[in-house]
Amino acid sequence: MVTAVSFQRIDAPATQPFPTASPRCAAVETSSDNVLMLAKAGDQAAFATLVRRHQNMVFSIALHMLRGRPAAEDLAQDVFLELYRSLDRLESDAHVVSWLRRVASHRCIDEIRRRNHRPEFGTDMLPETGHSPQPREVFAADRLQALVAGLPARARMVVVLRYQEEMEPTEIADTLGMPVNTVKSHLRRSITALRERLIGREQR
């Protein structure tokens, strides 16, 4: 049983228990790829280190998408359990990061769609946004969080990755498996919609 995740314990599947820890992990704590190598070899402490390094990113994506701590915790736990099962396919810590972002993003989108959110915006070819709010300001107010939550699932994911996770459009495109121009379209349409709705609320 791994206890590295602070927001919730992550338990191994009953049919595939986590292996025993090795004291070697402490010696390579600062070497990301060495930790991955040990985790792939079956070192529980090394896997716990991977979780500690990346849990904030995964939980942040899930929380901003699902807007509820229990749901975000459950999704993050599922993502890290899937990571444990997929270690053999990962080649570096950078690969781990991109894999976690992709899996967490798609699982969030799937979860939102299961909640019967409305259809997505269209994907017309539009230029990149000329001016954008600062990343940490976008979700600072409850009303903005509520407005972001009203976006379609994929558009919301693009906004979260761009302004909360500070990813470039090309990185988002790679993570979500969509053209860069589609990412820019989602950003432009979403920011315009958020501004219009925010202005409408203020006028009321």
In the DSSP assignment, the letter for residue 203 is: H
Residues 73 and 146 in one domain: no
- For residue 119, the Cα-to-chain-centroid distance in whole angstroms is 21
Range in 6-15, 139-148, 170-179 the model is least confident about = 6-15
17 is a domain residue:
no
Mean pLDDT over the full length of the chain: 76
Residues 94 and 165 in one domain: no
What range defines the domain where residue 142 resides?
Answer: 135-203
Which pLDDT belongs to residue 201? 56
Mean pLDDT value across residues 23-42:
69
Question: The pTM is what?
Answer: 0.67
- Residue 32's φ and ψ, nearest 5 degrees, are -60, -45
Domain CATH number, residue 199:
1.10.10.10
pLDDT tens-digit series, residues 81-113: 999 999 999 999 999 999 999 999 999 999 988
Task: Determine what percent of the chain is predicted with pLDDT higher than 70.
Answer: 69
95 is a domain residue:
yes
Domain CATH number, residue 108:
1.10.1740.10
Residues 80-85: contacts with CB under 8 Å, at least 24 apart: 80/5, 80/10, 80/51, 80/55, 81/10, 81/12, 81/13, 83/50, 83/51, 84/12, 84/16, 84/18, 84/47, 85/13, 85/16
Give the separation between CA 55 and CA 62, rounded to whole angstroms. 11
85 is a domain residue:
yes
Which pLDDT belongs to residue 135? 40
Give the separation between CA 100 and CA 59, rounded to whole angstroms. 11
Domain count of the fold of the chain: 2
pLDDT at residue 78 greater than cutoff 90:
yes
81 is a domain residue:
yes
